[in-house]
Structure 1
Amino acid sequence: MRSIAVIGKNFGDEGKGLAVASLSRVLGKPLIIKHNGGAQAGHTVEDAAATWRFVHHQIGAGAEYGAPTLFAEHYMPDLYQLGKEVADFTRLFGFVPLLYSEKTARATTIDDVLLNMGAEAARGDARHGSCGMGIDECVQRNRAGYGLRVEEVAAWSETEFLERLREIRTHYTKERAAVLGIDRENPYFALSENDTVLQNYVAEVKANIGRLTLVDANPDWLLQFEHLIFESGQGLLLDEDYEAYAPHLTSSKTGMHNPARFLEKRGLTLDEAIYVTRSYVTRHGEGPLPCEVKRSELPGVGEDLTNQPNEWQGTLRYARHESMDAFFAPPKRDKDSVQMFSSARDTKLSILITHLNETGKRLYFEEGEVSFERVRKEGERRGIKCMERLETEL
C-alpha cells in the first residue's frame, strides 16, 4: 500500500483538486482521504477537452474516476450541504459517488455556520477572511464540550437530533454569539433563534446521512486499497499553527500532520508529500500577501472561474513568489514539524507546479520570470523533486 499526501504549498487555490484527480485516474485502487477542514474547500476538476467541469467541496476530487472518499476523524463534514453536491455529481457523471466516514468525524451544524457568518458580519472591515462555512465554530463548540459525531447523527431519530441541537443552542450558541459580538442588529441573529431553521436542517441532514457508510477504517479495512491519497484543504501558509499570518488562518492542520497521525495509528507510513503551487501565488480572503500585484501584471494569467468574488472572501488576489529560499522553505518546515511521527520520517518531498500553461513554463518570482527548468534543478539541489505533471512523473 502506497500513501501520498497532496498539500497546498501557499494560501490555497493551487490546484490540489487537479493533483488528486490525476492520481486517482492513474493509480490502482485508490482511496481519497479528506482529513482537514470541511465543506469550504473548492477543488476543481475538468477533463482535457473541457467538456465537463466539477467543483468538489466534500466529495474527493477523483471520484469521477471511481475513487471512493473517506472522511477521516479530523474532517468536519457539512451533512446539510452534502446532499446537493452528491445530486450535482450524480447528474453530471451518471453514478453516485462512494462515500465512507470514520464514526468519530465531527459534524458541523447550522448554528456553526450562522455564528461564523454573524461573526464576520460583526467584524466589518476587520474580517478574518473566513469562508462562512462554520469550520472554526465547529472546532470551538467541540472544545467547549458540545461535540456532535457523525455516528450520533446517524443513530438518532429526527426528534432526538432536534432536541440535541436545541440543547446546544440553549446552553452554548447564545453565549457564544454574545462573545462574538452578534447582537439583535446582526442579520444572522434572528436565524440563530429560529426553531424552524433547526427543524429544516435536521430533516435535510437525516435525509443525507444515508449517503455515508460509517467505518472504523482500521488496517484490515484499508487493505482493500492499493493507494491512500490524502486530499488536504486550504494551504500550508493557512495552517492553524502558522502564526506569521494570524489571525487570518484556518482552524485545522493543513500539512502532513493529520496524514502522518492517521498512518501512525495504523502502523503505516507516508511515502510522499506532494506540495502544489501555481506558477504564481493567489490568496482568496483577508490577510498579508507578500509580493502582491494586480493580475494584469502577470502576463498570461487569466480569470479564475472557481474563485469568483463573494461576500466572505472578496476578490481573488495575486502575487509573485518571493525568493527561491522562500519557495522551498514550506515543505521542509512542514516535514520538520512532524518528526514525532515515525510514519513521516522517510517521506519524500515533491512540488507540483500548476498553471505553467498560462505563464509559458515560467514561474513569476519577485526577481522576475524564472524558467521551470531552473526551479527543477534548484529543487534537485535541495532534495525536492519538482514536477509539472503527475501522470508521467510519478
Structure 2
Amino acid sequence: MPAIAIIGAQWGDEGKGKATDLLGSRVDYVVKFNGGNNAGHTVVIGDEKYALHLLPSGILSPNCTPVIGNGVVVDLDVLFEELDGLTARGVDVSKLRISASAHVIPSYNRALDKVTERFLGSRRLGTTGRGIGPTYADKMNRIGIRIQDLFDESILRKKVEGALDLKGQILTKVYNRRAPEVDEIVGELLAHVDRLRPMVCDTGLLLNQALVRDEIVLLEGGQATLLDVDHGTYPFVTSSSATSAGACTGSGIPPNRLDQVIGIIKAYTTRVGEGPFPTELFDDAGAHLSKIGAEFGVTTGRARRCGWYDSVIARYAARVNGVTDFVLTKLDVLTGFDQVPICVAYEVNGVRHDEMPVNQSDFHHAVPIYEYLPGWWEDISECRTFEELPANARAYVERAEELSGARISVVGVGPSRDATIVRHELL
C-alpha cells in the first residue's frame, strides 16, 4: 500500500486539517513531517471545534496512529499543553508516536527569534517568533538538540553548552539580552523526559513496516508550497520543506512509496506575514473574504491577507509537488459576488507570464491578468453532490480545474467535517 501526501498549494491556511481529518478514518497512520507550532489546523467535528498547532490532525481519529516525524521541530511545552487540552475534552492521545530524531525547540531559540525579527524592522520576514527558524538553523549548523538527546543527560548538557557558547554571545553582545544558564536550559528539557519517553521511537522504521503490512500512511504537511524554503517566495518562507519531497525526508519514507499527492487549495487565496502576493485585495471584496472566511491565523491570531484565486500558483504547486488531486476548500465564501475573478497569468513590465516568474523581483511586480466568471447567490453549504451546486458555482470549479494542472476531486462548502462534495474518491 503506498503513502499519500497532503500538501498546501498556496501560502498555507488552505484547510489541510479538514482534508486530513476527512481521510483520517480510512488511514492507519497520519504523519506530520515538517514545521512546528508555527501553523495550525482547525478541524470541526459535529459541534466540536479543535485548533491543533503541533499535533497531526489524525490524533482526532480513534483508529489512526498519529506520528510526529523527524522533520518536525518540537516545542515540548506546547506539545504537552495540546495533549492535556485534548485529553480534557475526551480525546485519546495515547497512540501518539514521536521520532527520536526530531529536533527540540529550546527557550533560547524562542528568545532569539523574537529579538531578531524586531531588529530587522522594515525588513522583517513575518516570523511567528516561536523559535522555529533558529532551531532549523541549528539543525543545519549541527548544533541542534534532538529528542533522543534528552535521554542521556551528559550528551544533552554538552550540546546545550556548545549551543550557548554561540547563542549566549549573540543574545548579550548583539541584542543586549540576558543569556540563559546551561543548568536552566537542561532543567527545562529534562522536566519532560519521563512523560515523553513512552512516545518516542524510530518512526521511519515504524512507517516503513506499516507500508509492508499494506497499511495506509498519510503524510500531512505544515505550511505550504509557496512557503517552502527551496520552492517558495524566498526569503518570505518558512524554514522547512513543505512540499511532497519534504514528506519523504521528514518522515523517512522513500520516494517510490509516495503514490498520491493531494494538493489543498482555497477557492480564493490568502497569506499571513510579509512577502509578495499578486492577487491581494485592498478593497471591500478583500474585507468581505476576510470576514466571511474568518481569515485569522489558528496559531497566531494574525489577520490573513486575502485575494482572488491564482491559477499560476496552482499550476506551479501541481508541478513542484506532482499533485494528483486538488481539494478546493471554502467555495461557500465566494457566494454573493456578481463576478468572481480567476487570475490566469501575470503581466510583468508589459510581458505576459503564464508560469511563475523565474526571479523574485518579477514576482514582486507581477500584475494579475483576470478572467471574470459570473457569480452565484444561492446558499451552497448544504450541497453534498456536485450537481446540487448552482450552475455558476460548478462552472467556477470546472474552470479552476482546467487552469490548475490537476483534477479537483473534492470541494469544501463549509467548515464542518461533512460539508464536503466528493467528485472523485481520494482513496
Q: TM-score range, shorter-chain basis?
A: 0.7 to 0.9
Task: Flag the 1:162–1:81 CA change in 2: closer, same or farther, 3 A.
Answer: farther
Q: Partners of 2:249 and 2:157 in 1: how far apart?
A: 34
Q: Partners of 2:38 and 2:149 in 1: how far apart?
A: 23
The 5 Å alignment of 1:184-203 reads: 184=176, 189-190=177-178, 192-193=179-180, 198=185, 201-203=188-190
- Confirm or deny that 1:15 pairs with 2:15: yes
For the Cα contact (< 8 Å) 2:31–2:251, is it kept in 1? no
Pick one of 406, 416, 421 that aligns with 1:384. 406
TM-fit CA distance, 1:129: 0.4
Match of 2:99 in 1: 102
- Confirm or deny that 1:328 pairs with 2:315: yes
Match of 1:297 in 2: 285
My pick for the range that moved more, 1-10 or 260-269, is: 260-269
CA displacement 1:33-76 (0-9 Å, x = unmatched): 111111212011012x4x21111122211311122222222222
Match of 1:240 in 2: 229
For the Cα contact (< 8 Å) 1:86–1:97, is it kept in 2? no
For the Cα contact (< 8 Å) 1:33–1:71, is it kept in 2? yes
TM-score with structure 1 setting the length: 0.81
TM-score with structure 2 setting the length: 0.75
Match of 1:68 in 2: 65
Structure 1: tracts of 5 or more residues without a match: 336-347
- Confirm or deny that 1:55 pairs with 2:51: yes
Match of 1:343 in 2: none
- Confirm or deny that 1:365 pairs with 2:342: yes
Task: Flag the 1:197–1:278 CA change in 2: closer, same or farther, 3 A.
Answer: farther
Pick one of 197, 205, 223 that aligns with 2:192. 205
My pick for the range that moved more, 141-150 or 110-119, is: 141-150
Pick one of 226, 232, 251 that aligns with 2:239. 251
Which structure has more RCO (C-alpha within 8 Å, separation ≥ 6)?
Answer: 1
The 5 Å alignment of 1:17-96 reads: 17-25=17-25, 27=26, 29-47=27-45, 49=46, 51-66=47-62, 67-96=64-93
Stretches (4+) displaced over 6 A: none
**Taking every aligned residue pair, what percent have the same amino acid on both sides?**
20
Q: Partners of 1:261 and 1:144 in 2: how far apart?
A: 18
Task: Flag the 1:208–1:250 CA change in 2: closer, same or farther, 3 A.
Answer: farther
Task: Flag the 1:57–1:224 CA change in 2: closer, same or farther, 3 A.
Answer: farther
Q: Partners of 1:176 and 1:242 in 2: how far apart?
A: 30
Q: Partners of 1:264 and 1:334 in 2: how far apart?
A: 17
Q: Partners of 2:251 and 2:78 in 1: how far apart?
A: 29
Match of 1:341 in 2: none
Structure 2: tracts of 5 or more residues without a match: 344-369, 375-392, 413-419
CA displacement 1:178-234 (0-9 Å, x = unmatched): 7xx8421xxxx22x4356852662254335423623125323255456211111011
Q: Partners of 2:142 and 2:252 in 1: how far apart?
A: 26
For the Cα contact (< 8 Å) 2:204–2:251, is it kept in 1? no
Task: Flag the 1:260–1:132 CA change in 2: closer, same or farther, 3 A.
Answer: same
Pick one of 305, 324, 329 that aligns with 1:317. 305
Question: Number of paired residues?
Answer: 364
SS in 1 for 2:89: helix
- Confirm or deny that 1:165 pairs with 2:160: yes
The 5 Å alignment of 1:211-290 reads: 212-218=199-205, 219-223=208-212, 226-242=215-231, 245-261=233-249, 266=254, 268-290=256-278
Aligned Cα root-mean-square deviation (Å): 3.0
